[in-house]
A = this chain, B = another copy of it.
Amino acid sequence: MIQVTIIGSGNVARHLIKAFSEKAEIELVQVFSRKPEAVNDLVNSNKIVSDYSQLQSVDLTIIAVSDNAIAEVSNQIPLKNQLVAHTSGSVAMTTLDSKNRKGVFYPLQTFSKSKEVDFKNIPICLEAENDTDYQTLETVAKSLFNVIYQVNSEQRKALHVAAVFVSNFVNHLYEIGSDICTENNLSFDILKPLIQETANKILTLSPTEAQTGPAKRNDTQTINSHLSFLTDDNQKEMYKLLTKSIIDHGKKL
């Protein structure tokens, strides 16, 4: 049985604590949280610590805190030569304090506190300094995840930027669609099947094959009609820039 400790009490930490607690092959030894009440619904209180000096030696310590706290938290761990991994998409492995062995355990997903997560469908990206540590990360990862990728820090950064485009920015475009519906007394529900189909299409077609619409057809009349319909400056600028980018992308093919 592999011994794991989790540091943190945010969305990623909570989902991991819950999932590891249910796995026979993982012993969740400790959970570090500055506010014990933030995790005492998930784990026995005798396992919760809020003082770094109480942290025990384990096979893997996972730091699941906000990006800008990772360096400081790894610095606070009083143990040495432990395998310590963070869960961030955008922070380099080398940011971790050098007194311990470094790793990355990055589940590529958008986590909401209120929504259940099925780790089986989430890819996890692992990185370690040596093969033995990679094996440990992989064994822990296999207990929860079906799809495991070995990804170095530079690739992980690329992946995080790509994830911002396909998830955060995509969701904002949903938000704009929702705003336009509200302003015109239409239910946003009317757009939901289209949103689902657009996401489903790229499971069988490449995004380039799946591209449709006025920009793709270079249909200037519709594009101009849409631009004169839009009154919000940001929406107008986004319409122009995304249209330009689709047209430019088509020329490169």
| Residue A22 at the chain B interface, CB threshold 8 Å | no
Q: State whether A164 touches B67 (Cβ < 8 A).
A: no
Inter-chain contacts of A219 with B (CB < 8 A) = 67-68
19 extra interface residue pairs, beta carbon distance < 8 Å, beyond A167-B213, A168-B214, A238-B242? A108-B190, A108-B191, A108-B193, A112-B201, A122-B193, A123-B189, A157-B229, A158-B186, A164-B213, A164-B214, A164-B226, A169-B246, A170-B170, A170-B174, A172-B215, A172-B245, A177-B207, A192-B203, A198-B199
CB<8 Å pairs between A and B, sample of 29 = A67-B219, A68-B219, A90-B214, A90-B225, A90-B226, A109-B194, A110-B197, A115-B204, A121-B197, A122-B193, A151-B186, A154-B184, A158-B183, A159-B190, A161-B230, A162-B177, A164-B213, A164-B215, A168-B216, A169-B246, A170-B199, A171-B210, A171-B211, A172-B211, A172-B246, A172-B249, A175-B249, A195-B202, A241-B241
Interface residue ranges, A against B (CB under 8 Å): 67-68, 90, 108-112, 114-115, 121-123, 125, 147, 149, 151, 154-155, 157-178, 180-181, 183-186, 188-208, 210-216, 219, 221-222, 225-226, 229-230, 234-235, 237-239, 241-242, 244-246, 248-249
Q: State whether B178 touches A173 (Cβ < 8 A).
A: no
Q: State whether A162 touches B149 (Cβ < 8 A).
A: no
CA of A136 to CA of B64, assembled, Å: 59
Q: State whether A170 touches B173 (Cβ < 8 A).
A: yes
Inter-chain contacts of A205 with B (CB < 8 A) = 112, 114-115
Copies in the complex: 2
CA of A234 to CA of B216, assembled, Å: 16
Inter-chain contacts of A121 with B (CB < 8 A) = 193, 196-197
Inter-chain contacts of A162 with B (CB < 8 A) = 176-177, 180-181, 186, 191
- Known contacts: A199-B198, A210-B112, A222-B90. The answer to whether A229 contacts B167 by CB under 8 A is no
CA of A151 to CA of B184, assembled, Å: 10
CA of A202 to CA of B206, assembled, Å: 23
The minimal Cβ–Cβ distance linking A240 to chain B, given in whole angstroms, is 9
- Known contacts: A158-B180, A158-B186, A166-B191. The answer to whether A110 contacts B234 by CB under 8 A is no
CA of A123 to CA of B204, assembled, Å: 23
